[in-house]
Copies of this chain bind each other. A is one copy, B any other.
């Protein structure tokens, strides 16, 4: 496991890329202080106390690169538990890149994504699910997502799992003990108590698993694609939902070619709205590319807003389009009639299930459509309910745990040998341990920290 853990000194830009007042470059490792001193001549960081700030001039030989402030955290009192120096430069991408290069030339190595947090995990600062929450916390864009992540980072989720795991561990050790005395046919582990524990765990874990769909939506947002025939008013609908003139609109069918994506938050849930080129037999090669991109987007969507011209379309045509769209592996499709201000019979589309009536042009029905989007996604889930599972990896581990627990329970009920039951329980413990990192592999860690941003 410790293959991933190297003992060299890593460096990365820790602030977002781009122009700003300041940008912070972070070093961690045994040489962090010495390497920093090389580019900040005159500073004696070795002799300085931990948790102090030092003004200095960043020099590359005779060239002045910047005036900077170095923040010093000495091991083990740092995020990574190693020596850490944070160099605060002016927020110019050019300077930050030059300073990074300079530090690398002096012996630091560019950190891999998440490598600082991985070191923090290896050095025991927190468990794996807490480390993962650091990444989620940074990525959270809504209050709901933030609450989920900070609760997990501060150990709310780990704590719950830890208690379950310890109770199970207790029984597991009793079972193992029985195996040692297997010839004497004793039962140290009270079977009814064990079954009751297994059932309690199953219930808790099932609830957690059920919360995953919602947690995932809260964490990752929802990709909603606006699709339909040319000139249905898709770009106008996008603009109306965003309340700004984002996409070029015109009366000419096929105005939109490249897909346009924008974010929209509805009641704390982030939606990525995608406006697409209208679907029809393409008139030329460019439009063909556009239509192909649309079809891709529909396949990747979590929800499709099927928009049509209420004035020019018949219910049969709508039903036909919907039946084609519904072939898409169960992705929910919201049928939306646009231009209802021009529609003569207000009941024209009553037969279409779940129909929304809007006029993208004058804003009629837009708020109701947003609410319907939200409701479709949340489906009655209460986002304030206890611990919510939001990590696909945890979900899979818990699903596997559930299976092990069920097998163990069946094994006891069918009076199978203690060895088989113990083996199922060991599997369950392993799967639970993967979540907090008690049990882990290089692949798993590479996977988890590879998703972090560089510099964290």
**Proximity bits, A7-34, B CB within 8 Å = 1, else 0:** 0000011111111111110100000000
User: Hey, which chain B residues are within 8 Å of A248, CB to CB?
Assistant: 257-258, 286, 289
User: Hey, which chain B residues are within 8 Å of A22, CB to CB?
Assistant: 14-15, 24, 26, 455-456
User: Do residues A138 and B16 form an inter-chain contact, with CB atoms below 8 A?
Assistant: no
A141, B26: Cα distance in complex, Å: 22
- Taking the complex as formed, is A310 at the interface, i.e. its CB lies under 8 A from any CB of chain B? no
User: Hey, which chain B residues are within 8 Å of A171, CB to CB?
Assistant: none
- Taking the complex as formed, is A93 at the interface, i.e. its CB lies under 8 A from any CB of chain B? yes
Q: What is the CB-to-nearest-CB distance from A295 to chain B, in angstroms, rounded to a whole number?
A: 17
Max chain B C-beta neighbours (<10 A), residue from A54, A134, A137, A284: A137
A133, B238: Cα distance in complex, Å: 42
User: Hey, which chain B residues are within 8 Å of A139, CB to CB?
Assistant: 19, 92
User: Do residues B73 and A53 form an inter-chain contact, with CB atoms below 8 A?
Assistant: yes
A455, B20: Cα distance in complex, Å: 7
User: Do residues A91 and B285 form an inter-chain contact, with CB atoms below 8 A?
Assistant: no
Q: What is the CB-to-nearest-CB distance from A24 to chain B, in angstroms, rounded to a whole number?
A: 6
- Taking the complex as formed, is A95 at the interface, i.e. its CB lies under 8 A from any CB of chain B? yes
**Proximity bits, A83-101, B CB within 8 Å = 1, else 0:** 0001010111111001000
User: Hey, which chain B residues are within 8 Å of A17, CB to CB?
Assistant: 16, 18, 20
User: Do residues A18 and B16 form an inter-chain contact, with CB atoms below 8 A?
Assistant: yes
Contact of A257 among B72, B143, B257, B285 (CB under 8 A): B257
Max chain B C-beta neighbours (<10 A), residue from A21, A86, A150: A21
Q: What is the CB-to-nearest-CB distance from A151 to chain B, in angstroms, rounded to a whole number?
A: 8
A91, B12: Cα distance in complex, Å: 14
User: Hey, which chain B residues are within 8 Å of A88, CB to CB?
Assistant: 24, 86
- Taking the complex as formed, is A213 at the interface, i.e. its CB lies under 8 A from any CB of chain B? no
- Taking the complex as formed, is A221 at the interface, i.e. its CB lies under 8 A from any CB of chain B? no
Q: What is the CB-to-nearest-CB distance from A398 to chain B, in angstroms, rounded to a whole number?
A: 25
Contact of A138 among B13, B92, B143 (CB under 8 A): B92
User: Do residues A16 and B19 form an inter-chain contact, with CB atoms below 8 A?
Assistant: yes
A361, B443: Cα distance in complex, Å: 43
User: Do residues B14 and A94 form an inter-chain contact, with CB atoms below 8 A?
Assistant: no
CB pairs A–B below 8 angstroms (5 shown): A19-B139, A21-B453, A69-B71, A94-B140, A94-B145
Known: A92-B138, A95-B140. 10 other contacts (CB 8 A): A14-B22, A15-B21, A16-B18, A21-B454, A21-B456, A22-B24, A64-B150, A92-B146, A248-B258, A250-B285
Task: Write the residues of chain A forming the contact surface with B, with a CB cutoff of 8 angstroms.
Answer: 12-24, 26, 51-54, 64-67, 69, 71-73, 86, 88, 90-95, 98, 116, 134, 137-143, 145-146, 150, 153-154, 248, 250-252, 255, 257-258, 284-286, 289, 453-456
- Which 3 pairs from chain A and chain B are nearest by CB? A16-B18, A21-B456, A16-B20
